[in-house]
Amino acid sequence: MTQSVEARTDGRPWTPAARSFASAHGVVAGVSVIVAVAAAFLLHQLMAWPPHEDETLALFVGRDSLGGVIDHVTRDRGGAPLHFLFAWGVAHAGFGLGGSRLVSAAFAVASLPLVALLAARLTERRTALVATALVACSWAFLFHGVYARMYSMFLFLSLLSFLGLLRALDRGGRAWLPWAAAILLAVAAHPYGALVLAAQGVYVLLARRDRLRPAVAAFAAVAVAGIPFWLTDLVLAGRFDVGVGGRGDKLGGPTAIVTYLWQTAGDFSAGWWPVLAVVLLLALAGLATVDPDARKLALCTTLVPVVAFLAARLGGSASPESRHLIFVLPLFAVLVAAGVTRLARRLPLAAAGIVVALLAAEVAWAWQRTPPLFEWEPAQRQAARAQAEAYLAATSRPDDLLFGYEPLFLGAWERNRAFADTVLPRADARLTLRVLRRQPRPLGRGIWILDASERNNLKPRLEIENRDPGPPGMFVTHAFGPFLVIETEAPVGTPDRYLAAAARAMLAGRALGIGDADVNLQTIERADRASRGYGPSLRSRSSNSR
């Protein structure tokens, strides 16, 4: 990669070593400040955002033995084995949600120096400093720095793989080993690691054909070593009806993909269209400014996922979101920063003002996108959640059947480590039925949570009015602010009786305007129809039994 040579005061050009010594310290100091500020924010706001069901899912899976976690990921759930391995470590170390979020924050903070290194490798140090600041203030970075899922880990490992690839292409030989390890870990962290690998392969073909022979050998070795991860990805794809050919229900065709990429760019910067238009213009200017190899890497990393989306058939539950392309974030920031640097050559004050304005806009967008990340969960909801968790922890039975990975169940487990661990997924009818059939007979009580405060409700509120979920004598209910805990009064005994009770509970949720109730009811009905053949629906049987 080419870099400009700045003149010394005596008129002679800097040698590479002298220029590196003269310019590195200020940039290192700047990146260090960015890292420190980001770490302070993430640690201070670590528990501001309310617990989420996906965070609960990872920790509940992690409660199992190591062999059980591996079996669950490879046979039932698929995808992201490395994420569940970390969840297993957190759960068995005695930590809960806070421990999982610390892992996410650590990977996020550790990513920032790698952003600076990659940007400096592709452009020059001033651009690297701006790119690091742009990443650190983005919603994609800030939110996933506290969200206890795999995305900050995926960002970190993708960055390692990009740096490892560039190093291997320069040095060859054993330098391919660190790259292979990094890309395999990225693939293990998220199924979209396959897109990172594909983008890097296309880049080698386009930009470094002089290294094609060792690259082919290294990529082939990764393809073979990654077979366990490809198999888990196939399990995940099968669960969500993902394949090749045709059009998906939620993302298909150029228009939908352009909309998705526009929204993703907004989450990488600021989603208001006037600001985003400026950001994209700067990125285009940066694309024209960077050297050809950097341009090819940025284009490959962006366009390979686009081609994949055009070829893919995505089921109704598999709509990609901006977080799935988090590995593109550093290169996007590099292009924007390169555009700013180009502007700074002619209008330095204007460029500095644009950087400050962009950073402020990014933080403002993150605040609007996820207000609790900055404002914390309302105190009334926090108190109600604590009361509900305490109740569930005190009344739990080992054979209880929990529906959905509700955050209240996570809080109850943190209070009572013997809390029930059988969870029926609410978004996968086949897996729900499979888990239900594995349980020893007679089945225990069914427990469901309805949350009236979620934003997808018809009327979000912090108190539940009607607390009657169905026929008297069958359910016991307890309201805690916006949370309604519904339990069967007695063990359900059989899968059919469980599914019938679950349908009644969800019908009650629909009557209360709970947005998730309809989705849950569809899962329950599909599981019931699969268990007995295509007979009368649970909804009609539940209505007739009232």
pLDDT attached to residue 511: 84
Q: What average pLDDT score do residues 339-364 get?
A: 93
Cβ atoms of 429 and 523 within 8 Å: the answer is yes
Q: State how far the Cα of 164 lies from the Cα of 170, in Å rounded to an integer.
A: 10
The pLDDT score that the predictor gives to residue 358 is: 97
Q: What are the tokens at 488?
A: 């069967």
Of the candidate ranges 29-33, 189-193, 221-225, 530-534, the one whose mean pLDDT is the lowest: 530-534
Rg of the Cα atoms in the chain:
26
Cis omega (within 30 of 0) for bond into 442: yes
pLDDT at 534: 58
Distance in angstroms (rounded) separating the CA atoms of residues 112 and 141: 10
Give CA 170 to chain center in angstroms: 32
For residue 277, pLDDT over 90 is answered with: yes
Mean pLDDT of 328-347: 94
Interatomic CA distance for residues 214 and 180, integer angstroms: 12
Tokens 């320069």 locate to: 170
Q: Which of 172-176, 197-201, 250-254, 344-348 has the highest mean pLDDT?
A: 197-201
Residue keyed to tokens 């979020």: 101
Contact 52, 152 (CB under 8 A): no
128 CB neighbour count, 10 Å cutoff: 26
Helix (H, G, I), strand (E, B) or coil at 488: strand
Angle between helical axes of 292-311 and 273-289 (0-180°, round to 10): 130
Dihedral sign (CA 538, 543, 544, 546): positive
Find all residues with CB under 8 Å of 335, minimum gap 6, and list them: 282, 283, 284, 286, 287, 290, 298
- Give the pLDDT score at 15: 46
Partners of residue 313 on adjacent β-strands: 243
Angle among Cα 104, 105, 107 to the nearest 5 degrees reads 65
Asked if pLDDT for residue 386 goes beyond 80, the answer is yes
Determine the length of the chain. 546
Average pLDDT over residues 395-405: 95
Query: Please, is 306 exposed, middle or buried when counting C-beta atoms within 10 Å of its C-beta (0-12, 13-18, 19+)?
Result: middle
Q: What is the pLDDT of residue 249?
A: 46
Q: What percent of the chain has pLDDT over 90?
A: 68
- DSSP character string of 360-419: HHHHHHHHHH-THHHH-S-HHHHHHHHHHHHHHHHH--TT-EEES--HHHHHHHHH-TT-
Is the confidence at residue 36, as pLDDT, over 80? Answer: yes
- CA 365, CA 138: separation in Å to the nearest integer? 8
Rounded Cα distance between 57 and 406, Å, is 8
Q: Is the pLDDT of residue 403 over 80?
A: yes
pLDDT of residue 158 exceeding 70: yes
Of the chain, the end-to-end C-alpha distance in Å amounts to 73
Provide the pLDDT for residue 405.
94
Return d(Cα 88, Cα 69) in angstroms, integer: 7
Closest CA relative to residue 3, chosen from 128, 115, 113 = 128
Query: Sorting pLDDT into bands at 50, 70 and 90, what band is 239?
Result: low
Name the residue ranges covered by the structural domains of the chain. 22-375, 379-544
Q: Mean pLDDT in the chain?
A: 88
Model confidence pLDDT, tens digit, residues 5-29? 444 334 445 444 434 434 678 889 9
pLDDT tens per residue, range 121-154? 999 999 999 999 999 999 999 999 999 999 999 9
- Token pair, residue 139, equals 């919603």
CA dist., res. 231 & res. 467, Å (int): 45
Q: What CA–CA distance (Å, rounded) separates 96 from 476?
A: 28
- Which tens digits make up the pLDDT trace of 430-474? 889 989 999 999 999 999 999 999 888 878 888 887 666 555 678
3-state secondary structure of 501: helix
pLDDT tens by residue, 292-317: 999 999 999 999 999 988 886 655 55
Q: Which of 40-49, 304-313, 535-544 has the lowest mean pLDDT?
A: 535-544
**pLDDT computed for residue 380 by the predictor:** 94
- pLDDT-derived band at 535 (thresholds 50, 70, 90) equals very low
Residues ≥6 apart with Cβ < 8 Å to 158: 186, 193, 196, 326, 327
Instruction: Name the residue with tokens 């949600």.
Output: 97
> Which H helix or E strand runs over 446?
strand 446-451
204 neighbors 212 (Cβ within 8 angstroms): yes
Among candidate residues 428, 75, 61, the one with its CA nearest the CA of residue 232: 75
